[in-house]
Amino acid sequence: MAAEVVLGLGQSNPGSDRHDRDLSVSADIRSNTLAELGPVGLRAGGGAVADGIDELWVGAGVTAEVPLAGSWFVEGSLMPGYYDFTDGVNTKDDLAMRTRLGLGVRLGTGDAVSLALDNKADSDGDWKSRPERLGIQYHHSFGGY
């Protein structure tokens, strides 16, 4: 059963000119913590990101969360997946690795809010030189995160 659903709203190509940016939506689902490496909690996850009307990425992989002082945390994920584009970033391949790095704060209810950067690489590991998406995420916890 899912421990957390993460819904996001963001902007693709945050460093580009205004006419090159699109609204993006994302949804991730994450399991309970499966393993711990010191303070790092590791979980399985899956997600999807739609940028504008012409890009879609869907994948699954591993997510990590590191607690900081108070209710703050750093989150990250590494998920291979299928990438479909029309006019978006051409990775020259249908396989793309999405990475996400974010900073968030956990609320008293167990839910959280985070700000995250996404990036994609093609199957050759060619990473883009700048983030492809900046988004704000709402994490709804089902307990046990």
* CA distance linking residue 25 with residue 51, whole number of Å: 7
* Weakest-pLDDT range from 11-15, 35-39, 108-112, 114-118: 11-15
Looking at per-residue confidence, does 144 or 11 come out higher? 11
* Cα angle 47, 119, 57; round to 5: 35
- pLDDT value of residue 94: 78
Domain boundaries, the chain: 4-33+47-134
- pLDDT value of residue 21: 58
* Cα angle 37, 100, 75; round to 5: 40
At 62, is the secondary structure helix, strand, or coil?
strand
Residue 68 in this model has a pLDDT that exceeds 70 = yes
Handedness of CA 43, 46, 51, 52 (dihedral sign): negative
- pLDDT value of residue 16: 62
Residue 76 near residue 64 (C-beta atoms within 8 A): yes
Supply 2's token pair.
């899912």
Q: Could you give phi then psi for residue 19, rounded to 5 degrees? A: -70, -10
Q: Model confidence over 7-59: pLDDT tens digits? A: 999 988 666 666 655 789 999 999 999 999 999 999 999 999 988 767 888 99
Reported in sequence order, the residue ranges of 52-90 that DSSP labels E, i.e. its strands, are: 55-67, 72-85
Question: How large is the average pLDDT for residues 102-114?
Answer: 95
Question: How remote is the C-alpha of 45 from its chain's centroid?
Answer: 10
Q: Model confidence over 83-97: pLDDT tens digits? A: 877 655 555 557 888
- pLDDT value of residue 10: 93
Query: What is the residue-averaged pLDDT of the chain?
Result: 85
Q: Which pTM value belongs to this model? A: 0.83
- Exposed, middle or buried by CB within 10 Å (0-12, 13-18, 19+), for 42? middle
Residues 6+ apart with CB under 8 A from 3: 30, 31, 32, 33, 43, 141, 142, 143, 144, 145
- pLDDT value of residue 131: 61
